[in-house]
Amino acid sequence: MFTILGIQEATSSVENVTEFDITTEDYSATGTYDYEYELCEKEAIRRFRAWFLPTVFSLICFMALVGNSLVIVTFIYFSRLKTMTDIYLLSLGFADLLFALTLPFWAASIMSKWVLGVFLCKAMYAVYRISFFSGMFLLTCISVDRYFAITKAVSAHRCRSRAIYISKVSSLVIWITAVLFSIPEMVYTDVSANDTCDLYYNQPTKLIVGMQVTQMVLGFVVPALVMVYCYSGIVKTLALSRSFEKNKAIKVIFAVVAVFLICQLPYNVVLILKAVDTAVEGSKDCTLDNALMYAMDVSSSLAFLRCCVNPFLYAFIGVKFRKDLLKLLKELGCMSQAHFYQLTSCARRRSSGAMETETTTTYSP
């Protein structure tokens, strides 16, 4: 996920002007200020943001609520918490669901002025940061668990009795850490003079840049390095195996890494540019400033997609989970007995002989 800081800062900068923004200043030869006004048009950005962000946020919110709710209900209803990955997937579902519930507030804050008060303003940012860091750390834990389950299968099997306890404790630690990382949002978020909910409102530039860098390092760089290392080791192990299903498992791994990078890399590149822009107290190039705003809106929306894609990459792809999900839909009356039998029969034929153990369910095709 990404920080909303870029969107809200850009929104504030647009709200602070009516149609044009005065951006440039210079010194005269005498050493006194000689201002040269350059009209920087923001109306196009305002119109773009008014329809683009609420529309994207609404779609992502709907898909994330449906997908993650199915994951949570299926895990709890069938008591499927048998492995470390199951515990992490359930926690990830809660993190993504929690984040999805904040999206309507973000959409409302973009479309109109903030009228919900300081408490909800702080809560919105805090909940976002908690769900962001917990989600990233849980994805990291899932990759580590899969690494040991596949590359160190014998050792992982020996420790299976303690695995559930370890995963519960580590999940609790992750949530506590995420809450601690959200403290700056609780402290420094406020409602600005122009009635917008702003993070780091009236705070020093060094603080803003420092928090942006912290998020990039802990929320992207570290998880990305761990995931690449773990999944590289898994691919090497699978490549040496004789299972005819290994190619499908490897494709799943590449899909997991590719989606993570596609969703997160563009936004973090833009965030670096934003941090540099903030450090130099804003660009005086109108074209560059507007381009950065557009890039922030598009890349951040792309990063949001992770919360609704996770259920498909980490849960729905597992054979056992799909079977439980179909059974749940049948019991809820959303599927007939004949249709359920047809789908499960096809799944059994496809997965006969597949690499399906308690520690590798999410790699099953």
CB-based burial label for 287 (10 Å; 0-12, 13-18, 19+)? exposed
pLDDT digits (tens, 9 = 90+) for 286-335: 778 888 889 988 998 898 888 888 888 877 777 777 777 778 777 777 76
What pLDDT, on a 0 to 100 scale, did the predictor assign at position 180?
93
What pLDDT, on a 0 to 100 scale, did the predictor assign at position 336?
67
pLDDT digits (tens, 9 = 90+) for 95-105: 999 999 988 88
What pLDDT, on a 0 to 100 scale, did the predictor assign at position 106?
83
What pLDDT, on a 0 to 100 scale, did the predictor assign at position 59?
92
315: domain CATH number is 1.20.1070.10
What pLDDT, on a 0 to 100 scale, did the predictor assign at position 340?
63
Q: Which of 292, 301, 349, 147 is nearest to 229 (CA)?
A: 147
Please list the rounded mean pLDDT of every run of 10 residues in the chain (365 residues): 50 45 37 44 82 90 91 82 85 92 84 83 89 92 89 73 86 94 86 80 74 85 92 87 68 83 89 79 72 89 88 76 78 70 61 42 41
What pLDDT, on a 0 to 100 scale, did the predictor assign at position 225?
94
Report the C-alpha gap between 314 and 299 in whole angstroms. Answer: 23
Report the 10 Å Cβ neighbour count for 15. 17
Whether 77 contacts 49, CB under 8 Å: no
Contacting residues for 341 by C-beta, under 8 A, at least 6 apart: none
Report the C-alpha gap between 323 and 270 in whole angstroms. Answer: 41
Report the C-alpha gap between 78 and 293 in whole angstroms. Answer: 46
Q: How many domains does the chain have?
A: 1
Range of the domain at 335: 5-363
Can you say how many angstroms the Cα of residue 53 is from the centroid of all Cα atoms in its chain? 16
Report the C-alpha gap between 160 and 149 in whole angstroms. Answer: 10
pTM: 0.79
Contacting residues for 81 by C-beta, under 8 A, at least 6 apart: 75, 87, 90, 164
What pLDDT, on a 0 to 100 scale, did the predictor assign at position 63?
92
For 105-151, the DSSP string reads HHHHHHHS---SHHHHHHHHHHHHHHHHHHHHHHHHHHHHHHHHHHH
